[in-house]
Structure formats: C-alpha cells, structure tokens
Structure 1
Amino acid sequence: MGAAARKPDAGLFPCEAEIARRLSQTPADWRARAVVLERDGLPRIDPIMGGRYWPAVLAYFNKRYGIASFGPSAMDGTENLDALR
C-alpha cells in the first residue's frame, strides 16, 4: 500500500505531510529540513512501510533536545514482601 493510498495520519508510519503537520512545519519546509536532519540521525523513510517510524522520530527529537527516555534503574537489593504484612 503506497503513501497515497493510505490514511495520511496512519498509525506508526504517517506520511510526510502528517509528520510536517505534527512538527508545525509546512510540507515543503519539512522536506528540506528532513534531508539535513537525516544526516544527524533522523530515521529515514522505511522502504517497505513507506513512512518514517513515528516513535523513532519522537525518540530522535527527544534525544536532540535532551529529553532522552530513561531505562530501568539498577536494583537496590532483594524485595522483602513479608515487610508489607
């Protein structure tokens, strides 16, 4: 299913016009900026899915602006569930 045949805001792989809208860009401005941002790690358009994986696009911008997601913290010891009684 090509980009033209699917819904513009289709789930995890939105079309470029929808990504531009979500990022407050015009489609033309987004096309130009995406070329530059891809050199910095912006996910490319997946050739099979026909769009950029939206969670990866969000992760790219979160990392770019210092809001990277955090992983699980180190365990601080064994849980003692008997202490709850």
Structure 2
Amino acid sequence: MNRRASRDHGLFPSEAEIARRLSQTPQEWAAKAKALERDGLPHIDPVMGGRFWPAVRAYFLARYGLSGADPLAPDGPENLDAL
C-alpha cells in the first residue's frame, strides 16, 4: 500500500478522500469546504495536514440534526394488544 492510500484510511484523510467519502469531486469539495468552514466545518489541522475525520463526520451529523440521535435504541417491549 502506498503512503497516500494508507493516509486515506486514517483519522486525517486527504482532501480527495474526504471528497470521495462525501460523494463529491475534489474540485466540488474544495469550493464547498471553504463555505462550510465559515459554518463550522473543521479546518485542516496545520500539524497533521488534514481534517480530523471524526470531527468532519460529527459536523455533518449535527448539520442534519442527527448528532444526538440513536435510531436503534429500544423504546420498550412491544404491546400488540394496544393496536
């Protein structure tokens, strides 16, 4: 595995890999990332040279109202007699 490919699987993926994960072309992502940074998208970390992927993911989950959602949480036993 080359250095770039291994970097794309880590916590600080390349911008091209982030674009791929978000179904964007690298060019589309570059333009959108600038605007989204003004809205809270994590910036590229100057030491690590990439965006911290868990924070990017958390940003988008919060943006779409899913940051605290747990859709698989049980809500109690089923009561079929209630129908």
Shift of 1:52: 0.1
User: Aligned residue for 2:27?
Assistant: 28
Shift of 1:6: 7.0
Q: Secondary structure at the match of 2:6?
A: coil
User: Aligned residue for 2:48?
Assistant: 49
Q: How far apart, in 1, do the equivalents of 2:52 and 2:66 lie?
A: 19
Q: Could you list the per-position Cα deviations for residues 20-66 of structure 1 after superposition, in whole angstroms to 9, with x for gaps in the alignment?
A: 00000000000000000000000000000000000000000000000
User: Aligned residue for 1:60?
Assistant: 59
Identity across aligned pairs (percent)?
66
Q: Which has the larger radius of gyration?
A: 1
Residue type of the alignment partner of 2:18:
I
User: Aligned residue for 2:14?
Assistant: 15
Q: How far apart, in 1, do the equivalents of 2:5 and 2:47 lie?
A: 14
Q: Structure 1, unaligned stretches of length 5 or more?
A: 71-85
Q: How far apart, in 2, do the equivalents of 1:5 and 1:68 lie?
A: 30
| TM-score for both structures, normalised by structure 2 | 0.74
Please tell me whether the aligned partners of residues 20 and 30 of structure 1 are also in contact (alpha carbons under 8 angstroms): yes
Q: How far apart, in 1, do the equivalents of 2:60 and 2:6 lie?
A: 24
| TM-score for both structures, normalised by structure 1 | 0.72
Residue type of the alignment partner of 2:67:
A
User: Cα distance 1:25–1:5, how it changes in 2: closer, same or farther (>3 A)?
Assistant: closer
Q: Structure 2, unaligned stretches of length 5 or more?
A: 70-83
Residue type of the alignment partner of 1:55:
P
